[in-house]
Structure 1
Amino acid sequence: MDKKLPTIKEIARRLNVSVSTVSRALSDHPRIGLRTKTRVQELAKELNYEPNAQAIFFKQKKTFVIGVILPSIREEFFSEAISGIESAATEHNYTILFGQSYDDPEKEKNVVEAMKKQRVDGLIISLSKQTNKYDHLTALEKYNIPIVYFDRVPPFEKVNKVYCNLYKGTIDMVGWLISRGYKRIALINGPDKLAASKERLNGYIEGLSKRKLKVDMQMVEKTNLSREGTYAAMRSLLALKHPPVAIITFNDYVHMDAVQYAQQQGIQVNKDIIFVSYANLPITNYTAFPPLVSIEQYPYGQGERAMEIMIKLLHDKTENNLIDTTYVEEMPATLVMHGNARV
């Protein structure tokens, strides 16, 4: 039996028309008459004809593949984000090529290089926590590969990015704590290299200043986001002469480690010290002590919006053969209450 896949040439031969006519009829070209178009499309269906993807890609100079690089899919935030990215990609007939940096700049650089070689149409990325050089990303400009950053974004203005306004969200969180009578407020921040860490710190300082409270930098500790790093931060805070009565943690994972350390020290969580956090991940609903307040960062929405911006950029590229628009999407950082917390 002849198991060869049907081709445009075979359809053209059977209908005694040119190959270009078949090609145009299959792409619904307006210059092809309805009768011819119908005959071509019906025969193509009868023969189970499938377009040659490589030929289409070559002609359109597109692969319809978007590269996506995340720090780690194991983090619930990023698994939610990838779902949003994939949903929007599927809606626009794109697929994604996925890679992880594992928060290592060298691995991030290698994955970017691999995706460039795979000729992805664009790249969506959330930076590793250690990334502070961006040459491997800006180099994609000469290949006309657009980039959309989300959540962990670089400290530049003229880049395409989707992020939550954590500066304002932190001001709101500090204000919420002070309005409930908590004035010795500590911050366990993330690595200095992360733009999100700077946003949190600036929001923390501004939140205290707005309420006429002195900023005591002894109340600010850092973690490298590991359990050991968070334990060390907690150890320093609890050793203060006047320890905090409220602690803001960098994210819900840091929150869980901080709470665990507090319990080991015999502290009554959310009584002796209350804890608030960022991200509002569903996993905290299954812990004994979720943060009383968490800032919702909409990972699914961020991912979905990042892909929608990418589609716009690729449309601009197709229409104008260049990319001259910068898209910046600032999403709200919303306070979400848990347990007995009240707005």
Structure 2
Amino acid sequence: MNRNKNAEPTIHDIARELEISASTVSRALNDNPRISLKTKEKIKAVADKLGYRPNTLASNLRNKKSNTIGIVVPLINRHFFSSVISGVEDVAFKAGFNVVISQSNDLAAKEISIVQSMFSNRVDGLIISIAMQTDTFDHLKLFSKKHIPLVFFDRAVPEIETDKIVVDDFAGAYRVTQHLIDQGYQRIGHLAGPQNLTTYLDRKNGYIDALRKNRIAFDESLIIVNTLTSEEGVLAVQQLMSLPEPPDAIFCGNDTTALSVMIYLRNKGIRIPEDIGIVGFSNEPFSKVVSPSISTIAQPGFEMGQKAAELIIRKIENKERTYQTITLPTELIIRESSSRK
């Protein structure tokens, strides 16, 4: 019987071509030691000629393992998140795992849809940094309920007991604020991210603690909470500079807002760092090439990704039920935007 040319070739087609059993073909393609090397080579040659593709979906369903790790980031175009992805892939590829990458665009609804899709497609584990909007977690609790490994990085959910890889945001923010004080700045504003995320709450608290330890009065009007986009950076600096006593320095929750703040101030004829100091967070590549270059906090994104992958693969393979939180240090990078002395 002639095979339909449009149909996917099967092990039965290979078996007919070589006049052997389908079970022998199956064993050979799965590298069974009972099959001789010569026979394996013949079978592989015919499989390649026919364009045979293994049915990995069916195999995964049988083995209850897809050898796939899902990773969800808020924004792929941010250097920090792309560095984490590179770290995950570096470890996962060497361990024989594929990585499926998606971005939530910091939208809760999109994150929920992505995570549910990854669950339905039977990823072996999920690595995620939650969206700024996310404030309900049933879509993530589903993984822990089904004992599917889940690792949070950067933005974690305290309510879910699982592995977490974070940086010391509190210490990083404290170091930024102390640096600005050491440069002679006294009225320091802060552009903070959403306070439902511990990442940004810790940064705000580190800033406040540094002020307190230096006996500088805390002024609530100097803190503006938003989603740290370029547009909101401009709105925030306009609000700060309209205060009866405007700030002489601004600690921005990321480099994106730091850049938009600097552009706005420069267009108003305000000198940086002479009139006002600026520090960002995340060490985006543009921060060292703009003028003035932006002081910032560097996060070990690649290392975070590596550790997240190592943790999740260990969970997948060993079915461990103990969890840990790994906190990595940050580095203050002092550049022109805050170097007044």
- Both proteins in one fold, TM over 0.5: yes
CA contact under 8 A between 1:165 and 1:332: conserved in structure 2? yes
Aligned to 2:205, the other structure's residue is in SS state helix
Greater shift in the superposed pair: 43-52 or 269-278: 43-52
Q: Aligned equivalents of 2:155 and 2:105: distance in 1? A: 14
2:334 maps to what in 1? 337
Structure 1 residue 299 and structure 2 residue 292: aligned? no
2:116 maps to what in 1? 113
CA contact under 8 A between 2:240 and 2:247: conserved in structure 1? yes
Q: Aligned equivalents of 1:275 and 1:17: distance in 2? A: 72
Q: Aligned equivalents of 1:41 and 1:78: distance in 2? A: 43
Which segments of 5 or more consecutive residues in structure 2 lack a partner in the other structure?
none
CA-atom RMSD, angstroms?
A: 3.0
Deviation of the 1:55 alpha carbon: 4.5
Aligned to 1:124, the other structure's residue is in SS state strand
Deviation of the 1:213 alpha carbon: 2.5
Structure 1 residue 270 and structure 2 residue 267: aligned? no
1:310 maps to what in 2? 312
In the superposition, the TM-score normalised over structure 1's length comes to 0.84
1:76 maps to what in 2? 79
CA contact under 8 A between 2:164 and 2:325: conserved in structure 1? yes
Question: C-alpha offsets along residues 254-302 of structure 1, whole Å, 9 cap, x if unaligned?
Answer: 10111122123221121100101110111222322332x2111122222
In the alignment, residue 231 of structure 1 is paired with which amino acid? V
CA spacing shift, 1:342–1:250, aligned 2, 3 Å: same
Q: 2:171 aligns with which of 155, 168, 173?
A: 168
2:99 maps to what in 1? 96
2:144 maps to what in 1? 141
CA contact under 8 A between 1:26 and 1:37: conserved in structure 2? no
Aligned to 2:144, the other structure's residue is in SS state helix
CA spacing shift, 1:18–1:113, aligned 2, 3 Å: closer
Deviation of the 1:22 alpha carbon: 7.3
Q: Aligned equivalents of 2:55 and 2:306: distance in 1? A: 29
**Residues 19-30 of structure 1: matches in 2 within 5 Å?**
19=23
CA spacing shift, 1:342–1:56, aligned 2, 3 Å: farther
In the alignment, residue 305 of structure 1 is paired with which amino acid? K
Aligned to 2:281, the other structure's residue is in SS state strand
**Residues 1-343 of structure 1: matches in 2 within 5 Å?**
5=9, 7=11, 19=23, 37-48=36-47, 52-156=55-159, 158-291=161-294, 293-317=295-319, 323-339=320-336, 341=339
Aligned to 1:132, the other structure's residue is in SS state coil
Aligned residues: 332
CA spacing shift, 1:176–1:8, aligned 2, 3 Å: farther
1:320 maps to what in 2? none
Q: Aligned equivalents of 1:139 and 1:157: distance in 2? A: 10
Identity of aligned residues (%): 31
